């Protein structure tokens, strides 16, 4: 069994600042499991996480050939994805049956997302910028504060490698619906320094976001617009880091993604948006004493959205005109201390500060609020037993004080799996829209007296994650109270409740030239509030499954992904049903010269029609072809 303190001493500094460097073991006889940082905010092996975790590496991304973050997440345990159209359209992540606002999304430790809606724009994050993704399921508010009811999704940007020399890279893609993508960058490093910088862009002519008949039915986008909705994106990301001989480490990360997104809309909400995602962070770690590690971080994230309308609406033509803007800012800072109490015992204490701002042409009643969170976590290993305890106190300018906690116990069988049992509480703070959106026509549309939504979760699991094979099963129950819903006067109130029960399974292996990974989710995300008691929560499927199969033949690689989803509903009353569906993706790659590779993918091979949001179209059969140059290709 890997010991937690040894891992922390050897890896914590580098992983906190550049966790994207972490890789699974390559020795076929190795029993090392992947190293992660998101589950406990410290460097531990996945076997020691005592929670349900999925790690997606850059190798996985290159192999799967995704065009979006949604492609990577679809079908993972506990994951339901809803998308209002094709590439670049709004994407929502439902984790373990909770709301999209119940997931903390981080980029290199910096929280992202709109403070108005409470959602992270996953569709605007370029997959070419991603080195690694860690998805931790289950309550994590005792470490991350508000929103971590369903879990935490952390994305790590691509980094240069120490002692990697200078490595240029470039890729060019083309595909269906006029799809074009390009990315070019340079990275490198020496024994102390690493760096990376890249620029890229994407264009697609798109598909009609909404299918015809929506206006007559009065659902979804509520307009009939047959035009194709195009998407354009320009992005850049960079990072720099330096490590001194004494272990002190300083690093900087930056990403900007700006998009022009067309969608089905009206003169009231627009049909064309300029969206910008920006994140910047700095990390400093050092060791004042042999037993004491200090990590200081600071960062800012921005989510800017300006909407416009041009077109004919109910027979009247409107020239291009602005319809509104909502700009979000999050300023963040953290001070974390990891203290080794004894062999295999680690105490983590720290303070997080976050200040949220909104700038808009809509006159919000309040435009800023702050939150200070203090937390403590104990991790101890006693023989084959492992214990994790964490508590957190948040003080928020709007709702005051809130406490959360979590406890987990694990038993490591000899040369075998880990049995884990855990319990945790979490909460979600109301968004600026919930609290401060101005009255419309004199009728209130917000409620400044709203309380945080709260949850209690229990889980039991049996898991084993090694370098060349993994398997696991987790069962859980989450009760959410004070859910925010609209009353009969369309004012948001804490009047709803839900109970979510589920079982997740996964199994995968790497044998010779074969790689197989499979996932299965069985879930009951149910409303427990009258008059909808027993109804499924919207846009969440009860059953999903996915199988990835890949085989290499020397310089050739072939693979397939099979995904299936059960039915789901688009509304609380369960009147608008979206049927179950299945898709098949095929892919091939050929390393035709040193550092050069050509890739091809055929997605939704059988051209199935399906919806993840009612009356919103999804891509049918599509193809993509990519030419890539990178010294990392062998």
Q: What is the DSSP string of 234-301?
A: EEEEEEEEEE-TTS-EEEEEEEEEEEEEEEEEETTTEEEEEEEEEEEEEEEEEEEETTEEEEEEEEEE
Over residues 149-197, the pLDDT tens digits come to 999 999 999 988 777 788 999 999 999 999 999 999 999 999 899 999 9
Is the confidence at residue 392, as pLDDT, over 50?
yes
Q: Identify the three-state secondary structure at position 475.
A: strand
Residue 278's pLDDT is 97
Q: What is the DSSP annotation of 178-244? A: GEEEEEEEEEEE-SSEEEEEEEEEEEE----SB-TTHHHHT-TT-S---S---EEEEEEEEEEEEE-
- Answer whether residue 390 shows pLDDT above 90: yes
**Residue 616, C-beta contacts closer than 8 angstroms, at least 6 positions apart:** 83, 84, 85, 89, 209, 210, 211, 220, 221
pLDDT of residue 634: 61
CA–CA separation, 207 vs 89, rounded Å?
A: 10
Q: What is the pTM of this model?
A: 0.93
Distance CA 526, CA 533 (A): 8
**Spatial distance between the Cα atoms of 516 and 547, rounded to a whole number of angstroms:** 7
Is the pLDDT at 9 greater than 70? The verdict is no
User: 538-584, pLDDT tens digit by residue?
Assistant: 999 999 999 999 999 999 999 999 999 999 999 999 999 999 999 99
pLDDT(110) > 60: yes
- What was the pLDDT predicted at 160? 82
Q: What integer pLDDT is reported at residue 8 of this predicted model?
A: 35
**Looking at the predicted structure, is the pLDDT value of residue 292 above 90?**
yes
What letter would DSSP give residue 21? G
Q: How many residues does the chain have?
A: 634
Does the pLDDT value for residue 24 go beyond 90? no
Better pLDDT: 273 or 314:
273
Confidence of residue 606 (pLDDT cuts 50, 70, 90): very high
Residue 447 has a pLDDT of 92
What is the per-residue pLDDT across 362-388, written as a single tens digit (0 to 9) for each?
999 999 999 999 999 999 999 999 999
The predicted-structure confidence for 330-353, as pLDDT tens digits, reads as follows: 999 999 999 999 999 999 999 999
User: What band does 20 get if pLDDT is binned at 50, 70 and 90?
Assistant: very low
State the pLDDT at residue 218. 65
DSSP string, 405-472: EEEEEEEE-TTS-EEEEEEEEEEEPPPHHHHHPPPBTTB----TTPPPEEEEEEEEEEEEE-SSEEEE
pLDDT per position as a tens digit, 113-161 = 999 999 999 999 999 999 999 999 999 999 999 999 999 999 999 988 7
For 128, list phi and psi in degrees, rounded to 5. Answer: -65, -20
Cβ(189)–Cβ(167) below 8 Å: no
The per-residue pLDDT for 31 is 52
pLDDT at residue 23, rounded to an integer? 33
Averaged pLDDT for residues 227-236: 96
Residue 34 to residue 572: CA distance in whole angstroms: 40
- As a whole number of Å, the CA-based R_g of the chain is 24
* Share of residues in the chain with pLDDT > 90 (%): 81
* 76-95: average pLDDT: 96
CA distance 24 to 47: 12
Measure the CA–CA gap between 76 and 519, rounded to whole angstroms.
6
Q: Band of the pLDDT at 465, cuts 50, 70, 90? A: confident
For the segment 5-19, the average pLDDT, to the nearest whole number, is: 34
pLDDT per position as a tens digit, 580-603: 999 999 999 999 999 999 999 999
In contact, 531 and 567? CB cutoff 8 Å:
no
The predicted-structure confidence for 414-446, as pLDDT tens digits, reads as follows 888 999 999 999 999 999 999 999 877 667 789
pLDDT band per the 50, 70, 90 thresholds, residue 10 = very low
Band of residue 6 on the pLDDT scale cut at 50, 70, 90? very low
Instruction: Specify the pLDDT at position 54.
Output: 94
Give CA–CA dist 254/108, Å, rounded: 9
How would you write 100-166 as a 3-class SS string? Answer: HHHEEEEECCEECCCCCCCCCCHHHCCHHHEEEEEEEECCCHHHHCCCCCCEEEEEEECCCCCCCEE
Does residue 208 surpass a pLDDT of 90?
A: yes
Mean pLDDT score of the chain:
91
């Amino acid at each position: 069994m890997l010991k937690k303190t040894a891992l922390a001493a050897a890896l914590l500094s580098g992983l906190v600042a550049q966790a994207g460097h972490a890789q699974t073991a390559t020795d076929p006889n190795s029993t090392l499991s992947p190293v992660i940082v998101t589950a406990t905010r410290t460097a531990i092996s996945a076997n020691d996480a005592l929670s349900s975790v999925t790690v997606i590496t850059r190798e996985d991304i290159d192999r799967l050939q995704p065009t979006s973050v949604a492609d990577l997440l679809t079908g993972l345990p506990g994951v339901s994805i809803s998308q209002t159209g094709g590439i670049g359209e709004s994407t929502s992540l439902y984790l373990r049956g909770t709301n999209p606002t119940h997931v903390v999304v981080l980029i290199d430790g910096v929280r992202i997302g709109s403070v108005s809606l409470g959602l992270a724009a996953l569709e605007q994050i370029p997959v070419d910028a991603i080195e690694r993704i860690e998805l931790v399921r289950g309550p994590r508010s005792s470490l991350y504060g508000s929103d971590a009811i369903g879990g935490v999704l952390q994305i790590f940007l691509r980094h240069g490698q120490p002692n990697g020399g200078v490595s240029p890279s470039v890729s060019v893609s083309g595909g269906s619906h006029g799809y074009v993508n390009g990315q070019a960058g340079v990275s490198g490093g020496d024994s102390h320094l690493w760096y990376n910088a890249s620029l890229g862009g994407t264009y697609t002519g798109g598909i009609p976001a909404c299918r015809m008949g929506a206006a007559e039915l009065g659902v979804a986008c509520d307009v009939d617009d047959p035009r194709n909705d195009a998407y354009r994106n320009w992005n850049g990301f960079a990072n720099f880091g330096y490590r001194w001989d004494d272990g002190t480490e300083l690093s900087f990360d930056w990403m900007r993604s700006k998009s022009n997104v067309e969608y089905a809309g009206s003169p009231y909400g627009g049909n064309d948006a300029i969206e910008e995602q920006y994140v910047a962070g700095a990390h400093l770690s050092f060791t004042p004493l042999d037993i004491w590690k200090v990590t200081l971080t600071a960062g800012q994230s921005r989510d800017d959205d300006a909407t416009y309308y041009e077109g004919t609406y109910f027979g009247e033509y409107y020239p291009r005109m602005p319809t509104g803007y909502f700009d979000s800012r999050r300023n963040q800072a953290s001070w974390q201390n990891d203290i080794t109490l004894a062999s295999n015992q680690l105490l983590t204490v720290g303070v997080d500060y976050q200040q949220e701002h909104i700038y808009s042409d809509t006159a919000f009643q309040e435009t800023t609020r702050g939150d200070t969170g203090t937390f403590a976590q104990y991790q101890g290993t006693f023989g084959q037993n492992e214990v994790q305890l964490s508590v957190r106190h948040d003080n928020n300018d709007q709702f005051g004080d809130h406490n959360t906690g979590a406890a987990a116990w694990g038993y490591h069988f000899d040369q075998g799996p880990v049995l884990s049992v855990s319990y945790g509480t979490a909460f979600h703070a109301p968004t600026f829209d919930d609290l401060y959106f101005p009255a419309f026509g004199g009728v209130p549309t917000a409620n400044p007296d709203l309380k945080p939504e709260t949850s209690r979760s229990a889980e039991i699991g049996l898991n084993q994650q090694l370098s060349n094979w993994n398997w696991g099963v987790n069962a859980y129950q989450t009760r959410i109270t004070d859910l925010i819903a609209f009353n009969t006067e369309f004012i948001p109130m804490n009047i709803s409740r839900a109970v979510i029960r589920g079982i997740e399974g996964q199994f995968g292996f790497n044998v010779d030239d074969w790689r197989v990974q499979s996932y299965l989710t069985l879930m009951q995300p149910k409303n427990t509030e009258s008059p909808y008691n027993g109804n499924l929560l919207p846009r969440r499927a009860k059953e999903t499954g996915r199988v990835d199969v890949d085989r290499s033949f020397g310089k050739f690689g072939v693979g397939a992904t099979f995904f299936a989803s059960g039915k789901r509903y688009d509304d609380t009353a369960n009147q608008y049903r979206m049927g179950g569906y299945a898709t098949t993706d095929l892919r091939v790659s050929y390393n035709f010269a040193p550092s050069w590779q050509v890739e091809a993918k055929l997605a939704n091979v059988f051209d199935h029609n399906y919806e993840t949001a009612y009356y919103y179209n999804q891509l049918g059969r599509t193809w993509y072809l990519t030419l890539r140059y990178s010294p990392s290709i062998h």
